[in-house]
Structure 1
Amino acid sequence: FAEFSYGIKHTKRVYTAADIDECVDDFDIFVVGSDQIWGIENDMPLINLPIMCLNFLPKNKVGITYAASFGGMRASSRNDEIIKNEIKNFRYVSVRERSASRYIQEIHGIAPEVVLDPVFLLDEGEWRSVANESDESCEPYLLFYTAGADPRQEEILLNLYEQLNVKVRRLGYIDGELIGPKEFITWIKNAKYILTDSFHATVFSIIFHKNVVVLPVDNKQKDISKNSRLIDLLETFGMKERYISDIADAQNAVKNAEKLFAQAVDYDHVEKTLEVERQKSFKYIKVALESQNDTMSDCDNGSIGDEPDNRPQRYYMKSISKNASMDRMKYENAYWEEFVARQALLRAYYNEIERSDLMLKVAKVEAAGAFIDNYLIESKSIFIYGAGKLGKSLLMCFKKVDGFFDKANSITNCEGIHVYQPYSDEARLEIGDGSGITVVVTPVWDFYDIKEELVCEYRNIHPVSAKELVEQMLQKLV
């Protein structure tokens, strides 16, 4: 990946959420996207959303989104309010999925343009030039690439392997030094069959005219879910039949996949649709980029949708009154100052606890009581969803407290403490399915990614050591 990234132009300086506003004088137009830049529920801390909505831009700068996506965001009243307020920072808004456009229209009143994922803006020939031509394989193979971790997918794969009688190549969470973007593209280009639940694996399958079958990510059929990305994509190109919506019955799913692999995709129709959508996407980019000479005063009339005549209404999303702008600016400044202050506090605390074996940052002092009162007494297990070594260290803290397991078992029938570690160091704050409680250990950059079930106000949060948390829990249990 590092080798591939050398060919991409970057700024010399890497900006963070704390200093991103220092770059505003260096550029005229700011574009965010594509992909899941607004995946606030699953894929990013909530505090990052204002940054992803360019809330640091002055009014004389142009903010644009291209093919923005919510990923698997769970719609809620809190999300509605955040998106409704923050999306007004943009001069032009486009999204990648129709479901995202419907969602924004519902909460904002204007449906943004739906454009192609930027991968589609290069044609097959351009992507072939990126792939490793020397890796051509004479032996046909089925490429299996999954972004999820559903064991039913494995069962489907094993059955297809026997039925299709071809070699299987797997892509997954592989070290970037072994498999980079070039290899990823090459393996898709050379595959005979592709079985995937990945959005971009499906995109490249379409570009290279592959015999592809698409599986659901989480087997849920919601309007705003990770599956909606795949469904929208396939529907756009008339390929909805390539999607197996239900894999609960693995044997039936295998039969459907076999039947689909035996059918050819009408790529003549796909190419015609792709060219139309590609031109529409290029038009959006052209209109948006040519808007840098327009000032926000042209449309500061207090009514959303009253745009200058030379701007298509579907593109245009910005207009709030000057008073509303000032009120919002005061709110954002206070919000930002508090965030920066808390980040400094957390950094100092984090530096301190790194020097101690027993000290770890966890969610909230009040949350310790909430865990006990609302979940632990009725639970059979305690779940620690940690961040790599932090989770293991917290488990050690519990073990070092004399009598914890005895008291927990006698009072709550606790079967034990379980440590859950994510793929990366970014922990999520989650309540389980009701069978246990969640004790959260999170690195500093995820500190504000907190769900309403646990914490009502992020302003009330402050770090507490694991030892202190255990002591509080024991006091509750006595």
Structure 2
Amino acid sequence: MINSKKIGIITYFYFYNYGTMLQGFATQLLFDRFKDVDAGLIDYRFGTKTAPRKLDVFLIRLKRLLVYFKEFRRVYYTGKYSALKLHRNIYFDQFVSKYLKLSPKRYMYENEIAEDAPKYDIYVTGSDQTWSPKIGFSPALFLNFASKDSIKAAYAPSLGVSSLTEEQSDYIGKELQKYDFLSCRESLGSEMLEKVTGRSIETVLDPTLMIRSEEWLRYARKSMINGKYILCYFLGDRDYYRDYVAQLSKQTGLPVYYIPVSWKDFKKSNNLLWEVGPSEFLGLIANAEVVCTDSFHGTIFSVNFHKEVRVFVKHAGNVSGGDNSRLFDILKRLGIEKQLITEYKSGTEIKDTRIDYQHVDELLFAEREKSMKYVESIVNSVKS
């Protein structure tokens, strides 16, 4: 009897965020599709035991008080709709319970996983911004707990920045020496990692794009909206893309529905969709006529489902650098940079920008082939 290769994936997956949870699930699906592989997610929740000092608490509260006065509307709407937003978590929990394969033990803190590490043949640092200096380096995401004789790999991690300090470069360069396989989700990230490691870094697709649309539909819930609609999923607070949506609705005659995250969208008149978990998220995108988003995963799920997507940037400034770079990078690799809208003057007529999905699929096929070869090299590094 052939023994299965056990693969443990560590990544962010449980932060009640659609992209975060679905990329973790996609990485599980990507590795678990091999006949001789048993792949799952290491159930690490990234908790912290450090208690804040009383002085720090006081200063935080004082700072918040000043913010409350300065940004009253944001604070008011966030508080008013907080219960509805919290209720949404139930749908995430149901998705995890139904579809995710988690390690037998749950780890809340860094020391727990270091002291009683789960046993696998292959350890994989997964996708999302797992190596981002902005979020903060977690030793566990650099596989500090993995046994020395195991295979260590990375699939599509992101740095989330356009440059590294000398200290950050030294830390990452040292930590990555233990890895047998290295990759990155963005071209810019791969270039930075090559500089700090002196090794060749494969640029691979986000795992959600490695799962084809027909497979994603197995996990989707039917859209709760009848008829054609524009779907908005905005994480940022910028006004220019909300002005764009208003004009797009006017020109097309289509109603607009929001999966609300930003307080800017917390208005009853916005057709807010609160009871949306990962399955509902997939269904809403799959059935939309147009998707407007500033989200990386909102964008690539729209592309995967062949939607007319309009992409916006959360942060002003260089669209090819920093946090914006991941959006710019994937749109460029798929030949649809024209879908990126960096500015818009309210009331200006919007030109039709249809996507040639035959061309996109050709480029996506080549990217998938390259990424799958990388995955296969990891899987085949251990004999059954």
Give the aligned partner of residue 114 of structure 1. Answer: 203
Which digits, 9 at most, give the CA deviation of each residue in 1:188-230, with x for residues without a partner? Answer: 1111111111111111111111111111120221654111111
Give the aligned partner of residue 144 of structure 1. Answer: 232
CA contact (8 A) 1:145 1:201 kept: yes
SS of the equivalent of 1:272 reads helix
Say whether residues 1:250 and 2:324 are aligned partners: no
The 1:110–1:26 alpha-carbon spacing in structure 2 relative to 1, beyond 3 Å, is closer
Deviation at 1:118, TM superposition (A): 0.8
Aligned length: 282
The 1:56–1:132 alpha-carbon spacing in structure 2 relative to 1, beyond 3 Å, is closer
Among candidates 321, 330, 339, match of residue 233 of structure 1 = 330
The 1:222–1:90 alpha-carbon spacing in structure 2 relative to 1, beyond 3 Å, is farther
Among candidates 267, 275, 279, match of residue 357 of structure 2 = 267
State how far apart, in whole Å, the 2-side matches of 1:21 and 1:292 are: 24
Deviation at 1:27, TM superposition (A): 1.3
State how far apart, in whole Å, the 2-side matches of 1:136 and 1:177 are: 11
State how far apart, in whole Å, the 1-side matches of 2:321 and 2:148 are: 31
The 1:177–1:196 alpha-carbon spacing in structure 2 relative to 1, beyond 3 Å, is closer
SS of the equivalent of 1:26 reads coil
Say whether residues 1:10 and 2:102 are aligned partners: yes
State how far apart, in whole Å, the 2-side matches of 1:25 and 1:161 are: 51
Structure 1 residues without counterparts, runs of 5 or longer: 294-478
Say whether residues 1:99 and 2:188 are aligned partners: yes
Give the aligned partner of residue 207 of structure 1. Answer: 304
The 1:29–1:154 alpha-carbon spacing in structure 2 relative to 1, beyond 3 Å, is same
Give the aligned partner of residue 189 of structure 1. Answer: 286
Give the aligned partner of residue 158 of structure 2. Answer: 69
The 1:187–1:101 alpha-carbon spacing in structure 2 relative to 1, beyond 3 Å, is same
Give the aligned partner of residue 172 of structure 1. Answer: 260
Among candidates 114, 120, 144, match of residue 55 of structure 1 = 144
**2:194 partner letter:** Q
Which digits, 9 at most, give the CA deviation of each residue in 1:341-374, with x for residues without a partner? Answer: xxxxxxxxxxxxxxxxxxxxxxxxxxxxxxxxxx
State how far apart, in whole Å, the 2-side matches of 1:145 and 1:27 are: 37
**2:277 partner letter:** G
**2:102 partner letter:** H
Deviation at 1:155, TM superposition (A): 2.6
The 1:181–1:237 alpha-carbon spacing in structure 2 relative to 1, beyond 3 Å, is same
Structure 2 residues without counterparts, runs of 5 or longer: 1-91, 263-271
State how far apart, in whole Å, the 2-side matches of 1:157 and 1:176 are: 17
TM-score by length of 1: 0.55
Moved more, 140-149 or 181-190: 140-149
The 1:17–1:224 alpha-carbon spacing in structure 2 relative to 1, beyond 3 Å, is farther
Which digits, 9 at most, give the CA deviation of each residue in 1:451-470, with x for residues without a partner? Answer: xxxxxxxxxxxxxxxxxxxx
Deviation at 1:95, TM superposition (A): 0.8
Say whether residues 1:279 and 2:374 are aligned partners: no
SS of the equivalent of 1:217 reads coil
SS of the equivalent of 2:292 reads strand
State how far apart, in whole Å, the 1-side matches of 2:116 and 2:162 are: 29
CA contact (8 A) 2:129 2:157 kept: yes
State how far apart, in whole Å, the 2-side matches of 1:38 and 1:26 are: 23
Moved more, 190-199 or 55-64: 55-64
Which digits, 9 at most, give the CA deviation of each residue in 1:405-441, with x for residues without a partner? Answer: xxxxxxxxxxxxxxxxxxxxxxxxxxxxxxxxxxxxx
- After superposition, residues 421-440 of structure 1 pair within 5 angstroms as none
The 1:65–1:224 alpha-carbon spacing in structure 2 relative to 1, beyond 3 Å, is farther
State how far apart, in whole Å, the 2-side matches of 1:149 and 1:109 are: 39
Give the aligned partner of residue 247 of structure 2. Answer: 159
TM-score by length of 2: 0.68
**2:114 partner letter:** D
**1:221 partner letter:** N
Give the aligned partner of residue 75 of structure 2. Answer: none
What is the RMSD of the two structures over their aligned residues, measured on CA atoms? 2.4
Deviation at 1:183, TM superposition (A): 0.8
Moved more, 114-123 or 161-170: 161-170
State how far apart, in whole Å, the 2-side matches of 1:64 and 1:10 are: 19
SS of the equivalent of 1:229 reads helix
CA contact (8 A) 2:319 2:328 kept: no
Deviation at 1:236, TM superposition (A): 1.2
Say whether residues 1:127 and 2:216 are aligned partners: yes
**1:250 partner letter:** K
CA contact (8 A) 1:63 1:91 kept: yes
Deviation at 1:25, TM superposition (A): 6.1
The 1:38–1:224 alpha-carbon spacing in structure 2 relative to 1, beyond 3 Å, is farther
SS of the equivalent of 1:11 reads coil
Q: Percent same amino acid among aligned pairs?
A: 31
CA contact (8 A) 2:290 2:308 kept: yes
When Rg is computed on C-alpha atoms for both structures, the one with the higher figure is 1
CA contact (8 A) 1:55 1:89 kept: no
**2:112 partner letter:** D
- After superposition, residues 18-57 of structure 1 pair within 5 angstroms as 18-24=111-117, 26-41=119-134, 43=135, 45-46=136-137, 48=138, 50-57=139-146
**1:188 partner letter:** I
Which digits, 9 at most, give the CA deviation of each residue in 1:286-323, with x for residues without a partner? Answer: 11122236xxxxxxxxxxxxxxxxxxxxxxxxxxxxxx
Give the aligned partner of residue 438 of structure 1. Answer: none
SS of the equivalent of 1:169 reads strand
State how far apart, in whole Å, the 2-side matches of 1:242 and 1:189 are: 18
**1:56 partner letter:** F
State how far apart, in whole Å, the 2-side matches of 1:158 and 1:177 are: 21
State how far apart, in whole Å, the 2-side matches of 1:24 and 1:288 are: 21
CA contact (8 A) 1:193 1:210 kept: yes
State how far apart, in whole Å, the 1-side matches of 2:345 and 2:121 are: 53
